Amino acid sequence: MAANAQPWKKRREIPDMQVLDAAEQFDDARELLQRQPPGSGVLLPLLNAAAVAVELFLKSLSTESIFVPQSDFDGYKVYAQPELKHHRLHELFDNIPDDIRIELEARFATAGITTSATSLRDLLMTYENLFMASRYPFEAELDIRNYPLAQLMELSTFLRTVIAKMKPVDKIEW
């Protein structure tokens, strides 16, 4: 085997710290925007920051680590590559490894989020298309009133809190 050859087929660190850092930055922006008084004119950026944060929190749980050999030193530069490159939250959730997805659902069941959704997956489906609606609210088929704001804030906080408490694990496919 070559010095830089990788013995594994696919490797994931869950949560992926690079993606998690980006998610937390968008969530920090969400929190800043959320603290603005009503009528501040930042509802769309708030919705967008929350949508991006939720998406990235989910992607941090299913992203592949890409190891690129470096010629200038003996080692690798590690990148994160989400397996799904879209914004469909329920599909991102379905792509999370079973054991982690089950744990998320169990924690959701006891989290006390004010929602009529019976599962985390169902709640995520409530926010399908929010990413687009927060950018294009002037289009006829996109209505931001379809996306409950308080639940969205709770959802983003829930994902951040639960993922922050996860012990990082390596999942390797040989």
pLDDT band at 64 (very low <50, low <70, confident <90, very high): confident
- Identify the pLDDT of residue 40: 96
Could you give the CA distance from residue 46 to residue 18 in angstroms, rounded to a whole number?
A: 22
Residue matched to tokens 């603290």: 35
| pLDDT, position 4 | 52
Beta-carbon contacts of 154 under 8 Å, excluding residues fewer than 6 positions away, are 113, 114, 115
Could you report the per-residue pLDDT of 126-154, keeping only the tens digit for each?
999 999 999 999 999 999 999 999 999 99
What is the Cα–Cα distance from 138 to 109, expressed in whole angstroms? 35
Q: Are 14 and 169 in contact (CB under 8 A)?
A: yes
Q: Give percent of the chain above pLDDT 90.
A: 66
User: What is the predicted pLDDT for the residue at 3?
Assistant: 47
pLDDT digits (tens, 9 = 90+) for 3-29: 456 666 666 788 999 999 999 999 999
% of the chain at pLDDT higher than 70: 84
Q: Which residue has the higher pLDDT, 126 or 73?
A: 126
